[in-house]
């Protein structure tokens, strides 16, 4: 989860950009370029910086400003090329190296970014922007835990560097650090019009399932950018994941009526409509989707399912037959087709479809159920029993897995609750019942820390990291614990 957030958040930063520092207006191209940049007129700024650079090709300040503006405009490769040349001509200056490090970050070149950032820090150790570059480079390299102290250092200015604050919030979010929301809040207090930061905060809040607050932030973003259909699509997708289908359908409706009427939008809109009970409308939209592209599966498939819900079995069967043609060899489609036939009381065709589903995928347990019950209803109990026995075995396995997973999760939660209420011994006992679960091991470590058994806590965290090596927040916890023990 965390790495996904980081990826999303970093790319969003690049899309929306960071507010440039103001520049005084003047008559020369450089001053006018600074003014244009301050007004977010990046195309004009680039043109004027280029003009200024033509007038004074050796002016590193102009070249640097041009490169930064190119980065703001999303032209990372051009910025990188310019900065490489600038660094070559001014190898002892830290500013071009810092800018180049950030260009590499933008262009996803982590090791190059780290190299430049390190050299910039060597050249100017106390510079806060140097820490920002270093932190950004480390984050791009996936070294999030190491990025945190660099970024924390970079925001110590007064007022803090807003880009750095934003980057720090993003890294906190990726580490699921409790300081995430307060950092976003601080940033948005200082820079309330920073839609990128607000969007990133909303995304973070959704990911920690704080849907109410996440949606509130997203609503503010949309109020500021009401015609931005991309943002609305993102919101609609999140609402679907929140199972708020009616609200999602409203967002998709705006997107649809705003002219964004492609096949994928139609399918998403229809799915939200269908799930919120507006089946008739969903069917209408799906019929449009089929007209847009009759050779794609998704619209036919969803339409078939919805028509079955509407008890229009013959129409459903027709759509599912198209699906079977478009996606030959799909056991799932054969199963659904069988259901559509059965709903029309075409028992023989249904039986054939169910048998075909099982031929394609003998492990498809629901096809065993469908065939078994059909056979039972048509008086073939002995054969039915065979299929139903297969289904029962699969069903019981599924139930046992759900029971084990659900119980463990709820019991680990209870452990955390006991820990919160100052009962570490009880919590530890509970966490220790699940030695093969990373979250329980993390809880056990917390309980052990509360009991001043630090060495054991470290062992628990090490086991947790071994179980879930992709969990950056666990590694972060482990490093913090190492540091804590060392300090003692």
Among residues 409, 423, 433, 459, the one that binds another protein under rule CB under 8 A: 409
Nearer to another protein, 31 or 468 (CB): 468
361: contact with another protein by CB under 8 A? no
Site for another protein, residues 385 to 404, rule: CB under 8 A = 385, 388, 391-392, 395, 399, 402-403
Site for another protein, residues 206 to 265, rule: CB under 8 A = 208-210, 237, 240-241, 243-248, 264
Nearer to another protein, 139 or 316 (CB): 316
Nearer to another protein, 62 or 231 (CB): 231
Among residues 40, 54, 377, 484, the one that binds another protein under rule CB under 8 A: 377
- Contact stretch for another protein (CB under 8 A) within 20-28, 104-112, 320-328, 378-386: 378-386
SS3 for the chain is: CHHHHHHHHHHHHHHHCCCCCCCCCCCCHHHHHHHHHHCCCHHHHHHHHHHHHHHCCCCHHHHHHHHHHHHHCCCHHHHHHHHHHHHHHCCCCHHHHHHHHHHHHHCCCHHHHHHHHHHHHHHCCCCHHHHHHHHHHHHHCCCHHHHHHHHHHHCCCCCCCHHHHHHHHHHHHHHCCCCHHHHHHHHHHHCCCCHHHHHHHHHHHHHCCCHHHHHHHHHHHHHHCCCCHHHHHHHHHHHHHCCCHHHHHHHHHHHHHCCCCCHHHHHHHHHHHHHCCCHHHHHHHHHHHHHHCCCCHHHHHHHHHHHHHCCCHHHHHHHHHHHHHHCCCCHHHHHHHHHHHHHCCCHHHHHHHHHHHHHHCCCCHHHHHHHHHHHHHCCCHHHHHHHHHHHHHHHHHHHHHHHHHHHHHHHHHHHHHHHHCCCHHHHHHHHCCCCCCHHHHHHHHHHHHHCCCHHHHHHHHHHHHHHCCCCHHHHHHHHHHHHHHHHC
373: contact with another protein by CB under 8 A? yes
Site for another protein, residues 316 to 355, rule: CB under 8 A = 339, 343
Nearer to another protein, 132 or 431 (CB): 431
Nearer to another protein, 106 or 365 (CB): 365
- Shortest separation between residue 463's beta carbon and another protein, angstroms: 22
416: contact with another protein by CB under 8 A? yes
Among residues 298, 445, 458, 465, the one that binds another protein under rule CB under 8 A: 298
306: contact with another protein by CB under 8 A? yes
**Residue for token pair 């965290």:** 461
274: contact with another protein by CB under 8 A? yes
Nearer to another protein, 196 or 304 (CB): 304
Site for another protein, residues 16 to 75, rule: CB under 8 A = none
Nearer to another protein, 122 or 309 (CB): 309
Site for another protein, residues 101 to 130, rule: CB under 8 A = none
Nearer to another protein, 154 or 368 (CB): 368
Chain residues in the site for another protein (CB under 8 A): 208-210, 237, 240-241, 243-248, 264, 267-268, 271-272, 274-279, 282, 298, 302, 305-306, 309, 311, 339, 343, 365-366, 369-370, 372-373, 376-377, 379, 381, 384-385, 388, 391-392, 395, 399, 402-403, 406-407, 409-411, 413-414, 416-417
């Amino acid at each position: 989860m965390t790495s996904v957030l980081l990826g999303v958040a970093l790319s969003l930063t690049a899309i929306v950009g960071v507010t440039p520092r103001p520049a005084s207006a003047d008559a020369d191209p450089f001053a006018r370029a600074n003014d244009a940049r301050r007004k977010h007129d990046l195309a004009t700024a680039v043109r004027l910086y280029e003009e200024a650079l033509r007038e004074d090709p050796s002016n590193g300040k102009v070249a640097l400003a041009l490169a930064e503006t190119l980065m703001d405009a999303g032209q990372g490769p051009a910025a990188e090329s310019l900065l490489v040349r600038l660094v070559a001509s001014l190898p002892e200056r830290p500013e071009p190296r810092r800018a180049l490090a950030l260009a590499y970050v933008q262009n996803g070149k982590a090791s190059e970014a780290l190299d430049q950032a390190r050299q910039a820090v060597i050249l100017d150790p106390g510079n806060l922007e140097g820490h920002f570059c270093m932190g950004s480079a480390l984050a791009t390299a996936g070294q999030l835990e190491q990025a945190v102290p660099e970024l924390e250092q970079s925001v110590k200015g007064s007022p803090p560097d807003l880009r750095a604050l934003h980057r720090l919030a993003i890294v906190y979010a990726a580490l699921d650090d409790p300081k995430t929301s307060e950092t976003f809040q601080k940033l948005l207090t200082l820079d309330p019009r920073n839609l990128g930061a607000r969007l990133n905060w909303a995304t973070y809040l959704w990911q920690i399932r704080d849907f109410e607050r996440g949606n509130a932030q997203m609503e503010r973003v949309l109020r500021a950018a009401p015609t931005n259909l991309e943002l609305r699509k993102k919101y609609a997708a999140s609402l679907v994941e929140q199972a708020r289908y009616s609200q999602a359908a409203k967002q998709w409706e705006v997107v649809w009526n705003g002219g964004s009427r492609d096949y994928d939008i139609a399918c998403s809109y229809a799915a939200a409509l269908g799930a919120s009970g507006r089946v008739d409308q969903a069917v209408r939209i799906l019929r449009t989707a089929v007209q847009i592209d009759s050779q794609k599966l998704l619209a036919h498939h969803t339409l078939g399912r919805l028509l079955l819900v509407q008890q229009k079995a013959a129409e459903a069967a027709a759509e599912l037959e198209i699906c079977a043609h478009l996606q030959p060899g799909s056991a799932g489609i054969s199963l659904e087709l069988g259901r559509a036939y059965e709903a029309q009381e075409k028992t023989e065709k249904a039986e054939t479809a169910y048998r075909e589903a099982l031929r394609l995928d003998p492990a498809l347990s629901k096809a065993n159920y469908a065939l078994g019950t059909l056979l039972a209803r048509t008086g073939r109990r002995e054969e039915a029993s065979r299929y139903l026995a297969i289904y029962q075995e699969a069903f019981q396995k599924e139930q046992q897995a759900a029971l084990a997973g659900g119980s463990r999760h709820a019991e680990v939660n209870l452990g955390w609750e006991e820990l919160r209420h100052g009962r570490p011994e009880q919590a530890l006992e509970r966490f220790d019942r699940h030695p093969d679960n990373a979250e329980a091991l993390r809880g056990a470590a917390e309980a052990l820390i509360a009991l001043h058994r630090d060495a054991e806590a470290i062992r628990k965290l090490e086991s947790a990291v071994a179980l879930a090596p992709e969990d950056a927040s666990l590694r972060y916890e482990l490093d913090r614990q190492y540091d804590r023990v060392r300090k003692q």
